[in-house]
Homo-oligomer: A and B are copies of this chain.
């Protein structure tokens, strides 16, 4: 027997992964969750039918989500991670000399299952990490804390999905107000091929930041094979790292950081509202 998982996230397109074993399949309070062991990518986390992370290529996504903003900040002490229940983003943040990392994910089920099935993804025992199960939008509204870097590692802003409110202008305004004067905010956004309007809208929703830049990196498991990230910065140039890794990396380097901000012509035009 052959077992295949097919993902239909993008209309008119399917990705199929041959499955060795179904490790978990069920529901949390908020989402359907499946953990499959796939031949090509190893253990694979699927939320509401969409691949979120895999053992084999998670490093590409997590390094590129976290390190550019972290290395641009000269002295990132207090970090806030929105979502990130699989642990990968906080694992990368904790490689920096930070003091406190607040991870706020709405879905306890995801955190528990990832700790069990993806132990290498997280660094859960680090005492600097504070995990809070709560709606990140409510948390930030009620918090009087100020952060140096805020990282959004949520699912995609699918209409009526769990993460949709996190991509609103109101939420980004809250994020802006909870950042220190040299603070940076980074979020994953989809690549521009499939949902250009969604990408452009998100870009526009960040206009309270004096500097907004987009960069990209490989993630073979995601549709289209690359993923896009957007940084809002209060004062520092997101393309210019002020520090360098003193730990091993598998994707990130200062050169990769700078090159990642160079976008293909059609993508730049899309952000500028010109169709090519």
Contacts and interface: CB of A to CB of B under 8 A. Distances in A.
The copy count of this chain in the complex is 2
B266 A256 contact: no
Given A224-B220, A224-B225, A16 B14 contact: yes
Contacts of A38: 12
Contact of A251 (B223, B255, B265): B265
B250 A256 contact: no
Interface stretch (A3-11, A69-77, A162-170): A3-11
A17 B57 CA distance: 24
Interface residues of A, number: 43
Nearest to A64: B264
A226 interface: yes
A17 B16 CA distance: 11
Contacts of A6: 14, 16
Given A217-B264, A220-B224, A226-B225, A15 B15 contact: yes
B12 A40 contact: yes
A276 B63 CA distance: 14
Contacts of A250: 264-266, 276
Interface of A: 4, 6, 10-18, 38-40, 57, 59-60, 191, 193, 217-218, 220, 222-226, 249-253, 255-256, 258-260, 262-266, 276
Q: Give the 4 A-B residue pairs with the shortest CB-CB distance, closest first.
A: A225-B225, A14-B16, A259-B262, A12-B39
